[in-house]
Amino acid sequence: MTRLADIPVVMDDGGLTGSAPAVLREVAALLETLCRTGETASIDLRGLPLSLADRRWLLERLGKGEVDIALDIGGGSRIAETAYPGVWWVTHDNEQGVQVGEFIEVSYVPELLAPHPEDVENGLDSLKTRISELS
Amino acid sequence: MNEKKSGLLIDNLARQGVSRRTFLKYCATLASLMALPPTAGRAFAEALAKSHRPSVIWLSFQECTGCTESLTRSHAPTLEGLIFNSISLDYHETLQAAAGSAAEAAREAAMKENWGKYLLLVDGSVPMKDGGVYSAVGGVSNYDTLMASAKGAAAVVAIGSCASFGGLPKAQPNPTGAVPVSELVKDKPVINISGCPPIPVVMTGVLAHYLAFGTLPELDKLGRPLSFYGETIHDRCYRRPFYDQGKFAKTFDDEGARKGWCLFELGCKGPVTYNACATVKWNDGTSFPIESGHGCLGCSEPDFWDAGSFYRALSLPTTPLEKVALGAIGVGAAVGAGVALSNRAAKAKAKAAHQTATLDDLEK
């Protein structure tokens, strides 16, 4: 199927609207809260009227960190650390490769990475069973 | 024990190969869409995962089945579809295998078994003229079926603009005397999920909220979930920066259109239409009408079909929908006079040059 990105239309990037610096300041405030209280937070970028230029500006200002994780969970997801530890750029695609979510997450460990306690319990049971089969 | 009927939602999903992380990812996105704090995704997932299958009865009245198509027709299995499959859909005329008196008996049995607890989903408006004879199932009028089924429901969900506001059947001159569900059911909570059709995730979002929290989401003055209908298409539109900059496409094939400028002057109803298309999008998240180069039709608002031309700019008020626009538009009002002049000028120019694919050609 032809995707929107495949159609050769040159889009105006909209220019900077002034929203991006506000988002950057919000990220700083959320990061400060994380440092002081441990409280995590998230900004839904798709919920903001950001132009392409705004988005590019934000990405450039936040930069790249050391961690870049690709997940295959009901479509691809990517969790990339920015140049500021604790600030993560998270994108979610659906099974067709269309982006369905884009967040800036402010946390020590991105929420999606931590396994669920029930899954850990189930994993422990499976591992014990496998070990018992060794003898 | 009937596994299909008793399992927790998370177990149902696990059996269909959905991992907990996939579910958490879905819930994070859904929580965000529902204006729950994005970090509430995990709590939402926990509550939803432990929920049981509710009994759902779906009645179809004066409708086109587009609402059901919206929910069930996707290119690949989606979590919306899987959650929908996880509910106990005890009666749905289009989807059920049973027919005739057996189907009606199944509905009555499900109602009796889950009296006071089932969700009643309705798509389509209810004809009231001439004793409601214009739409009936098994000789029973839609009105009688609705009122009998609503008695034992925990809540009624009006799916689509027809059930929510009357929709196309109610369009002038409304030959069947069509009315929305909320005009008839007064003693139960009625949630309107408007749209022609409504967005699948909005339908499942309301169901998910009910499953997770046992309550209905907060509603706007038209009975729609605020989380999905709290902002206009215009508020969340990716072309909004162009509106703010005064950059408008004047025809569907001019330079502005090619650059993706705002479609306000081509009749886009985004500024007065409350829905989540701009963020949730359609066709598995591919795009929404404005992204495809066409203005919003305003299909989730009452009487959108009677609100004048889809291609007339909002700042030329002649109809109720457009009158609303006057109060809602800031910059738009300022450009209104310009739009009127622009429309006339474009029409004259088109006549002279025999151009095609213009605003006026589409209105012919």
- CA angle, B252 then B258 then B264, to 5°: 50
Contact residues, chain A, for B205 at CB < 8 Å: none
Q: Which residues contact B280 (CB under 8 A, 6 or more apart)?
A: B33, B199, B201, B202, B228
- Which of A94, A105, A109, A119 has the most B C-beta neighbours within 10 Å, making it the best mutation to test the interface with B? A94
Give the pLDDT mean for A94-106. Answer: 84
- Which of A13, A112, A113 has the most B C-beta neighbours within 10 Å, making it the best mutation to test the interface with B? A112
Greater confidence (B279 vs B187) lies with B187
Contact residues, chain A, for B277 at CB < 8 Å: none
The helix or strand, by DSSP H or E, that contains position A106, with its residue range, turns out to be: strand A99-106
Query: In whole angstroms, what is the distance from residue B29 CA to residue A112 CA?
Result: 12
Is the pLDDT confidence value at B353 over 70?
Answer: no
Is the pLDDT confidence value at B357 over 50?
Answer: no
Greater confidence (A131 vs B49) lies with A131
> B255, B363, B272, B364: which is closest to B315 by C-alpha?
B272
Residue B332, Cβ neighbours under 10 Å: how many?
23
Among A60-64, A122-126, B318-322, top mean pLDDT goes to: A60-64
User: Taking CB atoms and an 8 Å limit, are A40 and B39 in contact across chains?
Assistant: yes
Give the pLDDT mean for B84-110. Answer: 73
Query: In whole angstroms, what is the distance from residue B193 CA to residue B303 CA?
Result: 15
Greater confidence (A73 vs A127) lies with A127
User: Taking CB atoms and an 8 Å limit, are A4 and B21 in contact across chains?
Assistant: no
- Complex ipTM, two decimals? 0.74
Nearest residue on chain B to A74, alpha-carbon basis: B22
Q: What pLDDT score was predicted for residue A11?
A: 63
Among B22-26, B250-254, B282-286, B335-339, top mean pLDDT goes to: B250-254
Query: In whole angstroms, what is the distance from residue B155 CA to residue B182 CA?
Result: 11
Among A67-76, A96-105, B170-179, B283-292, top mean pLDDT goes to: B170-179
Contact residues, chain B, for A15 at CB < 8 Å: 241, 245
B17 at A interface, C-beta within 8 A: no
HSE-up of B279 (CA within 13 Å, CB side)? Answer: 31
Q: pLDDT of B30-52, one tens digit each? A: 776 776 665 666 777 778 777 77
Residue B317 — pLDDT band, cuts 50, 70, 90?
A: very low
What is the SS3 assignment for B316? coil
Is the distance from CB of B216 to CB of B209 less than 8 angstroms? yes
User: Taking CB atoms and an 8 Å limit, are B284 and A42 in contact across chains?
Assistant: no
Residue B252 — pLDDT band, cuts 50, 70, 90?
A: very high
Percent of all residues in chain B with a pLDDT value above 70, rounded to a whole number: 76
Residue B99 — pLDDT band, cuts 50, 70, 90?
A: confident
Greater confidence (B95 vs A109) lies with A109
Q: What pLDDT score was predicted for residue B173?
A: 96
Is the pLDDT confidence value at B362 over 50?
Answer: no
Contact residues, chain B, for A12 at CB < 8 Å: 242, 247, 259-261
The helix or strand, by DSSP H or E, that contains position B120, with its residue range, turns out to be: strand B118-123
Which of B41, B259, B284 lies closest to A111 in CB terms? B41
Greater confidence (B30 vs B340) lies with B30
Is the pLDDT confidence value at B75 over 50?
Answer: no
Measured in angstroms, the CA of A99 and the nearest CA of chain B are apart by: 7
Note every long-range contact of A30-33, with CB atoms under 8 Å and residues 24 or more positions apart, other chains counting. Answer: A30/A106, A31/A84, A31/A86, A31/A87, A31/A106, A33/A106
B347 at A interface, C-beta within 8 A: no
Exposed/middle/buried for A62, CB within 10 Å: 0-12, 13-18, 19+? buried
Measured in angstroms, the CA of B323 and the nearest CA of chain A are apart by: 25
Q: pLDDT of B192-225, one tens digit each? A: 999 999 988 788 788 878 877 778 888 999 999 9
Give the pLDDT mean for B131-155. Answer: 93
- Which of A4, A16, A73 has the most B C-beta neighbours within 10 Å, making it the best mutation to test the interface with B? A73
Compute the mean pLDDT over every residue in chain B, rounded to the nearest whole number. 79
HSE-up of B179 (CA within 13 Å, CB side)? Answer: 13
Q: Which of B26-30, B58-62, B74-78 has the lowest mean pLDDT?
A: B74-78
Q: Which residues contact B187 (CB under 8 A, 6 or more apart)?
A: B150
Give the pLDDT mean for A39-44. Answer: 88
Which residues are A72's β-sheet partners? A76
Q: What pLDDT score was predicted for residue B220?
A: 94
Query: In whole angstroms, what is the distance from residue A76 CA to residue B41 CA?
Result: 18
Measured in angstroms, the CA of A134 and the nearest CA of chain B are apart by: 28
A34 at B interface, C-beta within 8 A: no
